[in-house]
C-alpha cells in the first residue's frame, strides 16, 4: 500500500511538472540565463573604465553618469548632461541586459554593443574625446597598465578599451526575476500578478514586448492608433533612414526592470509607470483601460525586476 502511495505521489509530481512545462512551452517570453557568459578578466577592466571620467574630454563624465546601474541602468533625468553642461537630445536607455537587444540606441543606429560603446565617447555633446586621446590617457595610466596586464602586455589600443567596456556590459544581466522563475516553473505568480500577465497578453502589449528581453527585438511606431506629435529633436529611425514612414519609429524598449527606470519613453514624457501604461494603451492599442487593469498590469510589471548583476556585488 505504501509503495502504491509513493508511486502515486511520484506520478502526480511528474505529471504536475509536465503540465507546467507544456503550459510554458507556448510562451513568447523566455527567461534570462542564470549565468551569462562573458570574459571575466576583460569585464573587470571594463567595470573600472565604465565608472572612470578619464574617457571624457574634461574628465567630468563617465559611462555611469548617464547609465545609473543602481536605478534601472538608465538616467532618471529627462536627458543626460554631457561635458560643458551640454544636454543630450533623448532619454538614456538602460544598459542592463542590453546584450539581448537586436540593435542599440533608440533609433537602432548601432548594430552591436561594440559600436554603441564608441558612440558616446566620440559624441561632442557627451564625452567629446577622440580615439587617439583615449589611447594616450589609458597608456599613460599605471592603474590601467596594471589592470590590462592581467590578460595583455604591451600597448593598449582603443579597440581593446572598447572590448573591455563591452565585456562589462555583457555581464550586466539581471536574472531570476519573479517572472523568470515563474517561466521556469519554480514558483507561482500571485493572483493579481497572473491576472496582469493575462491582461498584458489580451490587450496586445505582448505583440511588441516579447522575447528574452521582453522588447528590444524590433522597431515600432510611437502612436500606431492615435497620432503622437513628431519632433526632429528626438533621433528616431527617420533620422537614420530619412524615410517619412519612419518618423516616430523607435526600438521597442525592454520591460525588464521597468519599475526601476522612470521616466519613460524616448522623451521622458511619462514620469510614472502608471502614466506610461495609460498612454501606451491609448496611443498604440486604442484602449482606455480601467483602474483595475492598470493595477493588475503594474503588479505584473513589478515581477520583471531581476537580481543585481553578480559583477556589481
Contact assessment for residue 62 and residue 202, using Cβ atoms and an 8 Å cutoff: no
126 is catalytic: yes
Q: Please tell me which residue in 111, 126, 135, 193 is annotated as part of the active site.
A: 126
Query: How many CB atoms are located within 10 Å of the residue 127 CB?
Result: 25
Phi, psi of 9, rounded to the nearest 5 degrees:
-65, -40
Active centre residues (catalytic): 126
Amino acid at each position: 500500500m505504501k509503495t502504491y502511495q509513493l508511486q502515486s505521489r511520484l506520478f502526480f509530481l511528474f505529471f504536475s511538472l509536465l503540465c507546467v512545462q507544456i503550459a510554458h512551452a507556448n510562451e513568447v517570453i523566455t527567461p534570462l540565463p542564470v549565468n551569462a557568459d562573458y570574459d571575466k578578466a576583460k569585464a573587470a577592466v571594463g567595470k573600472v573604465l565604465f565608472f572612470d571620467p578619464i574617457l571624457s574630454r574634461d574628465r567630468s563624465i563617465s559611462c555611469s553618469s548617464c547609465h545609473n546601474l543602481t536605478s534601472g541602468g538608465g538616467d532618471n533625468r529627462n536627458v543626460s548632461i554631457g561635458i560643458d553642461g551640454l544636454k543630450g537630445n533623448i532619454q538614456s536607455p538602460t544598459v542592463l541586459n542590453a546584450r539581448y537587444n537586436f540593435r542599440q540606441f533608440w533609433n537602432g543606429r548601432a548594430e552591436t554593443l561594440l559600436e554603441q560603446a564608441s558612440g558616446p565617447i566620440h559624441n561632442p555633446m557627451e564625452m567629446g574625446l577622440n580615439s587617439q586621446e583615449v589611447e594616450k590617457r589609458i597608456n599613460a595610466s599605471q592603474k590601467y597598465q596594471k589592470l590590462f596586464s592581467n590578460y595583455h602586455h604591451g600597448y593598449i589600443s582603443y579597440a581593446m578599451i572598447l572590448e573591455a567596456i563591452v565585456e562589462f556590459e555583457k555581464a550586466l544581466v539581471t536574472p531570476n526575476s519573479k517572472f523568470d522563475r515563474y517561466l521556469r516553473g519554480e514558483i507561482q505568480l500571485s493572483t493579481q500578478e497572473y491576472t496582469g500577465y493575462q491582461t498584458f497578453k489580451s490587450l496586445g502589449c505582448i505583440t511588441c514586448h516579447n522575447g528574452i528581453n521582453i522588447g528590444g527585438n524590433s522597431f515600432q511606431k510611437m502612436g500606431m492608433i492615435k497620432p503622437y506629435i513628431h519632433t526632429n529633436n528626438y533621433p528616431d529611425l527617420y533620422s537614420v533612414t530619412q524615410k517619412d514612414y519612419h518618423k516616430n519609429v523607435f526600438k521597442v524598449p525592454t520591460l525588464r526592470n521597468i519599475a526601476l527606470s522612470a521616466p519613460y519613453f524616448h522623451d521622458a514624457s511619462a514620469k510614472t509607470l502608471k502614466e506610461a501604461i495609460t498612454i501606451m494603451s491609448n496611443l498604440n492599442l486604442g484602449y482606455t483601460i480601467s483602474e483595475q487593469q492598470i493595477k493588475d498590469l503594474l503588479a505584473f510589471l513589478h515581477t520583471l525586476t531581476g537580481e543585481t548583476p553578480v559583477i556589481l556585488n
